[in-house]
Every structure is written in structure tokens, then in C-alpha cells.
Amino acid sequence: MNISVVIPLLNEQESITELFDWIAKVMQSNQFLYEVIFVDDGSTDDSWKVIQKLSIQHQEVKAIRFQRNYGKSQALDAGFAKAQGEVVITMDADLQDNPDEIPELYNMITQEGYDLVSGWKKKRYDNVVTKNIPSKLFNWAARKTSGLHLHDFNCGLKAYKNEVIKTIKVSGEMHRYIPILALNEGFSSIGEKVVKHQARKYGVTKFGIDRFINGLLDLITISFLSKFGKRPMHFFGLLGTLMFLFGFFSAFYIGASKLYRVYHKIQTILVTQNPWFYIALTSMILGTLLFLAGFLGELIIKNNPQQKHYKVKEEINL
């Protein structure tokens, strides 16, 4: 099979059929063998009924339905687990991503040797204040943090080698930073393609103002995980050791100074009246706790298998 198209969706009943017909037209004109995997992330409208109807009419349609809304990252992860195509394309279901981009994305993976190609919506039709400006700020921060020079990390239209999506684990709300996850797993051939962005035709956006806060927190998380996710002791252990040593030598100095003054009969205060004593004590306690946090993190990583954080309710043709 040449291509798997993974489409996460939530309450997009108006656009599903139009999107599939568009994808099918592109695939047939290029003679691709393909499958389209819809992942219904707990829709409360008739999205699942529309998908069921399509699956009866077209054998290329496959689908996963979640028990409830788990989020786009979990939807992508479920779709990736089922995808069989040599190249995997992701796109949103709201018709803002253009299926006509698929052939060139496919060629960039198969002929130009990219592991991952991320779309860049250079000209956008979103609200400038609520989407464009925050998106540019997040993309700038992601570039500076990861060292990966992409203009649009959050573009839903991306292409992957099958090996990439079978290797990475998309959880939480990390779908924004999949290229960084791939880079962390050793897939360094990451490219970018300017893609057409279209104004939303049906419905309303499913992302609120909270996505900006979540995006920032996710960026901090992935920055930490990029460096210390597999070896937490390298962060917590080092920081804890430094804090403990600072507290220990501070306490040693306070004790030695006290003994020196007592020995030479110099007037001095009680150790417990010295504020540095409590700073030293607190530093040693915090240093010990940080060291233990790193140690426990190492144990968790080595002994706890990764678990999927979603429950599938139904599947079609999978």
C-alpha cells in the first residue's frame, strides 16, 4: 500500500464526505493504493454515521471511534498504530488542509528521502489576533528550543515514513511537536513544504484560548523530555547533588565557625539563631529529595511499560 491518510476529527459531519471524495479523486488520478483512517475523537453529532456510510460504499475507508473525547494526540496515536501505508499523511477534517498536496508530499518522502515533511501554511485565513500571532510566537519558541527550523510546527498536514509513526509515541497534547518527537528518536531528515490553507467551510474551530497555555506548557515539557526524558537522573540527580553539597558545606562552615569562636572565647550566637543554618538545612533536604526524584524517575522508565491513554469503542475494517 502506498499511502495511509490519518484524519482525526471531532464533530465534522458536514465535511467528512466532501473531504473523502476529494482525497479519493487525488488518489485515483495518481493511481495510488491507499486507505483513509478516520479517528472519531468522541463526536456528539452524526460524524460516525457518515463514516459508517462511507465505509459501506468504499473499502478504502477505515475508522476508529473513541468512547469519549481524548484529544487530537491520542487520535493520531490510534491512527498511527493502524496505518499500513508506506507513507502516512495526516490532515484535519475541516477542509482547511488541501488533499491536492498529497502527491508532492508523497514524492518528498519516497524520492527525496525525507523521514518527515511538515506543511507550512505560509498564507493563512485564520483570525490574526487569536491564531496567527500566537502561532508565530509558539513556532519561534519551538525553533529556538529544539533547534529544528520549521515555520509551522502545528500544521495538521504532514507526511511521514511509516517507520517514523511506528516509532514515536504521541501523548498528552504533543501533536503540536511531532517533528521534535521524531527528531528525538533519531529521524533527522525533516523537511518543510509550503501548503495551501483554506478558510473553514463548515462548523467552528474546536480549540479555545486554553490551547495557548497548553502549547506553552507542552513546549516546556518536550524541551525537558528532549534532554532528560530518558535519563531523569541527569537532571534531578545533578541538581540535587549540587544543592546538597551547597547545604552540607554551608553547615560545615557554620559549625566550624562556631567551634572556632567558642575555642577562642569569642562571643557568638547559637547555631539555631543563624539564618544560614536553616538555609543550609533546607538545601540538604531539597537536594536529597531531588536526587530521590531522579532515582525514582529512572525506576519508572525502566519498569513501567507505556500504556495507551484512550479506549476504543468501535473499529471498521481494522
**Pairwise pLDDT comparison (158 vs 307), residue with the higher score:** 158
Helices (H) and strands (E) in the chain, counts: 10, 8
- Is 106:80 a contact under the CB 8 Å cutoff? no
Q: Which helix (H) or strand (E) holds 40?
A: strand 34-40
- Is 116:164 a contact under the CB 8 Å cutoff? yes
Of residues 172, 168, 163, the one with CA closest to residue 183: 168
**Pairwise pLDDT comparison (303 vs 89), residue with the higher score:** 89
pLDDT 10s digits, 14-41 = 999 999 999 999 999 999 999 999 999 9
Pairing of strands 116-120, 158-161: antiparallel
Neighbours of 3 (CB within 10 A): 27
Pairing of strands 116-120, 34-40: unpaired
Pairing of strands 116-120, 190-194: parallel
Q: Hey, where are the domains in the chain?
A: 3-228, 233-303
Residue 207: pLDDT above 70? no
How far apart (Å, rounded) are the C-alpha atoms in residues 124 and 197? 6
Averaged pLDDT for residues 306-317: 71
- The SS3 call for residue 7 is strand
Query: Which CATH superfamily groups domain 3-228?
Result: Spore Coat Polysaccharide Biosynthesis Protein SpsA; Chain A (3.90.550.10)
Residue 173 has a pLDDT of 78
Return the C-alpha cell found at 27. 488518489
pLDDT 10s digits, 109-120 = 999 999 999 999
How far apart (Å, rounded) are the C-alpha atoms in residues 3 and 161? 10
- Is 48:312 a contact under the CB 8 Å cutoff? no
How far apart (Å, rounded) are the C-alpha atoms in residues 134 and 154? 11
Question: Which of the residue ranges 70-74, 112-116, 129-133, 308-312 would you say has the lowest mean pLDDT?
Answer: 129-133
